[in-house]
Structure 1
Amino acid sequence: MITVTTKFLKGAVAAAALFATTPMAQAEVLTMSSWVPPTHFIHTDFLVPLTEKIAEVTEGRVTVTILPAPLASPPQHWELARTGVADITWGNFTYEPERFVSMWFAEFPNAGTNAEAQSRALWQTYEKFLAGNAAFDGVKLLSVGMFGGGQLHHGSKSITSPGDVANQKFRMGGPIQEKLLTALGAVPVAAPATKAYEMLESGVIDGSLHTMESVVNFRLEDVLKHHTVFPNGFYDATFFVAMNGGKWDALSDADKAAIEGIIGEELSAAWGRNFDNQDQPAIEKMTAAGHEFNDASPELIAAVDTVYASMVADWIGAAKSAGVADPEGMLAFYNATYAALAAK
């Protein structure tokens, strides 16, 4: 005779066996490759909050782990995301200038000095004009960003006129900056910002191109004490946060919808705000240390504007070849959108 107790025990064993063979739902763990140290504000104030928000809005179903070391050099980070070597990466579009010809316009002079407004305007421009461009295939673009206008910085003298710029050796970081300096009669020297201090100390360069925050964050305030300010920025840089397209597609519809609510224009704005928040304290610190700040003269601004017009004309043809149907309209849209956002 089978007792009630025996029946209960058999049922419990069967239930336990079924539970043991049924896979539990597990969180999707994404990897992020980043190339700044964990003390940098991009890491502490932008990337870490992004990972926290993704976990929060998906209720822990999707988490992001920032790897302890980058998986490749900075210029390779778009490709890391596109090919899925890392799930999420960030970087500068014009580290691959030929791939991202469409983005050159936002790194030219006069792109603005309000990084949040710039970053919002660039996102809107991307969505309206570039979302279907082949250069962006293979990834889910999470955000774009700009840094609020780079300026000219010199180690030993004031730079205000075209004559002051001529024959001075400036460290710079990309082909657009190289063209700009060359056209002004300066001598461009390609090197990362991390090399600026030793190059200034050894006399290899006379000055360097940076945002205001970069002078302080790269600890250059002892060797760059003369700052030339262009009201609309001397040059700029464009950045991305990208996720592998296949990984994005594999997420559940619910998780994709949740993440969509924290990326795009709002995440782009957060990028820009972080740069805006860094710039003013940097200026205050350098002012207190006795640094010299000079407005670019009307003659120097006019010289830069002439170069800018030439750069835009050359870019229009290149952008059309890169699949941008209306480069002039795209640039006009960015400028108008930025102006409206910056005025708020």
Structure 2
Amino acid sequence: MKMRQTFNALKLLAATALATCAVGVNATTLTLSNWVPPTHFLTTDVLQVWAANVEKATEGRVKVRMLPKPVGSPPQHWELARKGVADVTWGNFTYEPDRFKALWFAEFPLNGDNGEAQSVALWDTYEKFLSDKPTFQGVKLLGVGLFGGGAIHHGKKDIVSPEDLNNQKIRMGGPIQKRLLEEMGAIPIAAPGPQVYDLLQSGVVDGSLNPIESVINFRAADLLKHHTLVPEGFYDATFFLAINESKWNKLSEADRKAIMTVSGEHFSRLWGKVYDDQTRAALVTLKENGHKFNTPSPELMAKIKQVSDGIYADWVADKAEYGVENPEEMVKFYRERYKALKAN
């Protein structure tokens, strides 16, 4: 009897081992192109966490391997996923503003200062209004994100009134930020965020538009010590996580469903929460180091709203370009969803 029990136990162990080996052999590995450093919080707290979640959700049948270096420049990452150069990529929709004009609304001023609520609201809006648009074909969108509202940062003075921006050279990115600065009397200087330190040190710019966390993460804390926090954000930026559509379709239905349990709304919430945590931590650090934080005057707030209203009106008028029949309804849905999520 004991010998039979031992034999049965050995058979069970052998079967389990074989099954485990089979999972390992048959596992699908997805390559992920990442263009921020391995120590950046988006790598450690968002992308690697999502990759681990995918492996766990699929019980090891799908793994995500982050490539040692990106396979293209940041603006190329949507196309890199669409063409299958990398299986999974992430990036900024603003890097291709004309292509993704349907999403401009989420980057308008006064649109939100809670990254988690904004990101989930944007995902819900994409699913309801945009997921079937030709712009998004060729990839499966796995999540979106915003950073919770950008601020105005200056190296030498407080920005409180509209006049404070006159003739100030401000680093920025994207058409919305450019128009904002131009109509408020500033001189926009287009450059990627990571270049802000060099631009400030060389005197090319006087200030920069960034989320609070970037002042620290882009090593600019010694050069940007005056910060103007605009309630509900001076602007924002929209991001994506995407997988090549053909690669996605080759996965089993069970694995696709499993991956979506940790993607979509789940990923968008993770993205926004991490940004909110980074913002809170940066505020504490900068205040401890004597940085000056300012509130816009009523006149500056009125000017921001005036410019924002003009940008919004022009964007709505261009609806034929981005194929949304009723963009006002889409924006209303997004803003109501954001308010409800922020209140919870």
User: When the two structures are superposed, what TM-score results if normalisation uses the length of structure 2?
Assistant: 0.92
Give 1:94 shift: 1.3
Match of 2:86 in 1: 86
Match of 2:213 in 1: 213
Rounded Cα–Cα distance in structure 1 between residues aligned with 2:111 and 2:219: 26
Whether 1:68 and 2:68 are equivalent positions in the alignment is yes
Rounded Cα–Cα distance in structure 2 between residues aligned with 1:319 and 1:109: 19
Whether 1:152 and 2:152 are equivalent positions in the alignment is yes
Give deviations 1:163-205, integer Å, cap 9, x for gaps.
0011100000112111110011100001112221121122111
Q: Counterpart of 2:79 in structure 1: which amino acid?
A: E
1:167-182 correspondence to structure 2 within 5 Å = 167-182=167-182
Match of 2:295 in 1: 295
Give 1:224 shift: 0.2
Rounded Cα–Cα distance in structure 1 between residues aligned with 2:120 and 2:109: 18
Match of 1:96 in 2: 96
| Matched positions, count | 323
Give 1:319 shift: 2.9
Q: Are the counterparts in 2 of residues 139 and 242 from structure 1 also a CA contact under 8 Å?
A: yes
Rounded Cα–Cα distance in structure 2 between residues aligned with 1:194 and 1:255: 36
Rounded Cα–Cα distance in structure 2 between residues aligned with 1:200 and 1:149: 22
1:330-341 correspondence to structure 2 within 5 Å = 330-341=330-341
Q: Are the counterparts in 2 of residues 320 and 326 from structure 1 also a CA contact under 8 Å?
A: no
Q: What is the SS of the residue equivalent to 1:178?
A: helix
Rounded Cα–Cα distance in structure 1 between residues aligned with 2:221 and 2:187: 22
Q: Counterpart of 2:254 in structure 1: which amino acid?
A: A
Match of 2:32 in 1: 32
Give 1:262 shift: 1.0
Give 1:105 shift: 0.6
Give 1:44 shift: 0.2
Match of 1:124 in 2: 124
Q: What is the SS of the residue equivalent to 2:71?
A: coil
Q: Counterpart of 1:28 in structure 2: which amino acid?
A: T
Rounded Cα–Cα distance in structure 2 between residues aligned with 1:61 and 1:202: 51
Give 1:112 shift: 0.5
Q: What is the SS of the residue equivalent to 2:36?
A: coil
Q: Counterpart of 2:34 in structure 1: which amino acid?
A: S
1:235-246 correspondence to structure 2 within 5 Å = 235-246=235-246
Give 1:281 shift: 1.1
Q: What is the SS of the residue equivalent to 1:204?
A: coil
**Greater Cα offset, 196-205 or 178-187:** 196-205
Rounded Cα–Cα distance in structure 2 between residues aligned with 1:318 and 1:165: 29
User: For structure 2, which runs of at least 5 residues remain unmatched after alignment?
Assistant: 1-17
Match of 1:164 in 2: 164
Rounded Cα–Cα distance in structure 1 between residues aligned with 2:223 and 2:141: 38
Instruction: Name which one, 1 or 2, has greater alpha-carbon Rg.
Output: 1
Q: Counterpart of 2:49 in structure 1: which amino acid?
A: P
Give 1:317 shift: 2.2
Rounded Cα–Cα distance in structure 2 between residues aligned with 1:253 and 1:204: 53
Rounded Cα–Cα distance in structure 2 between residues aligned with 1:89 and 1:28: 17
CA RMSD of aligned residues (A): 1.3
User: When the two structures are superposed, what TM-score results if normalisation uses the length of structure 1?
Assistant: 0.92
Q: Counterpart of 1:189 in structure 2: which amino acid?
A: I
Q: Are the counterparts in 2 of residues 101 and 318 from structure 1 also a CA contact under 8 Å?
A: no
Q: What is the SS of the residue equivalent to 1:198?
A: helix
Q: List 4+ stretches of structure 1 deviating above 4 A.
A: none
Give deviations 1:283-338, integer Å, cap 9, x for gaps.
11110111100001110010010000000011112233211111000011111111
Rounded Cα–Cα distance in structure 1 between residues aligned with 2:57 and 2:204: 50
Rounded Cα–Cα distance in structure 2 between residues aligned with 1:253 and 1:267: 19
Give deviations 1:139-185, integer Å, cap 9, x for gaps.
11000000000000000001100000111000001121111100111
Match of 2:55 in 1: 55
Give deviations 1:33-70, integer Å, cap 9, x for gaps.
01000000000001001111111111111111000000
Match of 1:329 in 2: 329
Q: What is the SS of the residue equivalent to 1:129?
A: helix
Q: What is the SS of the residue equivalent to 1:274?
A: helix
Q: What is the SS of the residue equivalent to 1:329?
A: helix
Give 1:211 shift: 0.5
Q: Counterpart of 1:174 in structure 2: which amino acid?
A: G
Give 1:264 shift: 0.7
1:185-334 correspondence to structure 2 within 5 Å = 185-334=185-334
Match of 2:41 in 1: 41
Q: Are the counterparts in 2 of residues 159 and 165 from structure 1 also a CA contact under 8 Å?
A: yes
Q: Are the counterparts in 2 of residues 320 and 327 from structure 1 also a CA contact under 8 Å?
A: no
